[in-house]
Structure formats: C-alpha cells, structure tokens
Amino acid sequence: MLELCKRCGISESHIDATNFKKDKKLEYDREVDFKLYNKDRSKVYRVEVKLMSKGNPESADAVIARDTDIFIAYTLSEQNKQQLEYLNIVYLALKNNSNIILDFKKLCKRLDIPLINHAR
C-alpha cells in the first residue's frame, strides 16, 4: 500500500501506516490496515487491503465490520462490487488491472486525497 501511494504521489503527511484501532478506549476493537487523509486532513479514510488469490466472500464482510472507506483487493466478485457500491465503499480490484496506478489516482482525486504532480 505504501508503494502504491508513493507511485501515485500521495504526500507522506496524508498517509498513516501505523498500527491502530478504531476506538482506542475499547479493550479490543477491529484494526484497519491503513489510513489516508483528504487535502485539509478533515476526513480520515480507513483502508482495508486484501491480497488473496482466490475469491473469498468473507473479505467484503471484513470491510463492513471495520467501517472501511476504501477497499483494495486482489480480486472481487461482481456480488462483492455491488455490495461495496451499495455501501458507498470505494474499491480497487488489482487482478488483471493494467491501470492500477491510474485507477488509484482517480480514486484519490474523487476523495480529495492530494497527489503530488511529479509522481510516476
């Protein structure tokens, strides 16, 4: 995820890759993989990354349980995509996608996550 952000030109000030929990007041809570921030850092986007090679119907369930805003997955079924769209969760499927960088940049622009112009 860090490499994808780097290649797309997301500033380090708009990335949080530390281990964290949804609500630190709770003894146990569901962790999220990554966080991205919009331009003025007023909005936090919770990112879930699943890189399994075979379809896993539970993967979309994990996204819902973790209150995810962005889902990056190796593969997604059509049913998963429909469910994510219904829930307004932005997603990027990687398998057979020759435009990963461009698609991720579009996703970031849509969410007002700033990109540095000189990114590859």
Higher pLDDT, 62 or 2: 2
Domain boundaries, the chain: 2-15+31-110
Give the mean pLDDT of the chain.
84
Label residue 88 left, alpha or beta by phi (over 0 means left) and psi (-120 to 50 means alpha).
left
Handedness of CA 119, 13, 112, 69 (dihedral sign): positive
- pLDDT confidence tier of residue 110, bands split at 50, 70 and 90: very high
Would the pTM of this model clear 0.85, i.e. be above it?
no
**d(C-alpha 58, C-alpha 119), whole Å:** 34
Provide Rg for the chain, Cα atoms: 14
What is the structure's pLDDT at 119?
47
| pLDDT one-digit tens code per residue, 21-65 | 556 665 555 577 889 999 999 999 999 988 865 555 566 667 776
Domain boundaries 2-15+31-110, CATH class: alpha beta
Count of alpha carbons within 13 Å of 58, Cβ hemisphere only?
1
